[in-house]
Structure 1
Amino acid sequence: MNISSIINSLNDVKLDQANKISEPISSNSKSFQELLNDSLEELNNEQIEGYNAMQGIATGKVTNLQEAVQRIEEAELSLKLALEVKNKAISAYREITRMQI
């Protein structure tokens, strides 16, 4: 068995891995700020739909009560999820600020 061929193949693997790491992020990926803004906009739209469903129930304009209640529940759950994510992010930030360098 030729050891130099093994070493050459290992070097090729290392070069391939180095090239993959140094590749730029694809142009269609979004920044963290854009993802956060999109999530908040989606949350806001769900809250508006839930509010409109509640208003429809109160005024009697809803034809499908089950669908309206489902929208209200989805809005409530999405708000709870957003609050939990916010709490976790704040907790992580506080923990990072407590770290000693």
Structure 2
Amino acid sequence: MGAVGSVRRAPSFEEPVDLVCFARFLDRNLLRSLPQSLKMGASVVGETFTTLHRERHGKPSSDRYVLELGELPQLLEGMDVVEFEETWVDGRHTARIWARKPA
């Protein structure tokens, strides 16, 4: 059985989880803490805006909500990066990652 929830309302998990997904969301402290909340072999899949997007569009409004180039894998220290890219798609520059906790 699985559980679905909002990390904003429940930033800690009662039991280790198999998968965490996020989109257009950035909480650096939460991302740094994710590896300890995951089961062995579990994945994190996510995408959020970079500084290049903000430079072009003026959004998100704060540096707090955009990633520096190359920053996302560093926030998931101790995880194996399966795929990572920073690219323009449909006028948006985002960082995308799939990382797995070593088994």
Q: Give the helix-richer structure, 1 or 2.
A: 1
- Report which of the two structures shows the higher radius of gyration computed on alpha carbons: 1
Q: Give the strand-richer structure, 1 or 2.
A: 2
TM-score, L = length of structure 1: 0.29
With a CA cutoff of 8 Å and minimum separation of 6, indicate the structure with the bigger relative contact order: 2
TM-score, L = length of structure 2: 0.29
